Amino acid sequence: MKGLIAGLAAGLALAGCAGVPGFRDRSELVSEPETCAPQRFEVYFRDSEAGLTDAARHAISLTATQLQGCEIRAVQVIGLADARGGPTANLDLSERRALAVAEALEAAGWPSPAFSVVVAGESGSTTAAGANEPMRRRTEVLVDAAPR
């Protein structure tokens, strides 16, 4: 009971800080990140597949909506794959993944001339030591966005 009373007293004291002499409103120091700014996001795939998962569609939709009022200057979609399957198969899979993401972004209304599709296969899929192979089954999307 004493702990509950002490917690309530501390909460009330903090709530009343605005009226305390010397208290400085710090809201002007906190800023929201710029929505229309360069961004990076990743889209993950199932093993040996290039079809978009529900989670991938959701990530693409959220980003497309977030940047809806921005000027999309350039979009680089980098397809990656894990080390299984051999170099030729991995490059093909990486390309199909990158194209699936680019097509989904175009369908969301992003300008198609802004797209650049890059295929890295397994060679570009460097991850931190000890990272799981699924981390390599992805596309990286780099968006150069600016306010209109």
pTM of the entire structure? 0.70
CATH superfamily for 36-147 is OmpA-like domain (3.30.1330.60)
Cα gap 96→51, rounded to integer Å: 8
Residue 105 has what pLDDT? 92
Domain boundaries of the chain, sorted by first residue: 36-147
Average pLDDT by stretches of 10, the chain with 148 residues: 50 53 66 79 92 94 90 92 82 93 92 84 57 70 92
Residue 102 has what pLDDT? 93
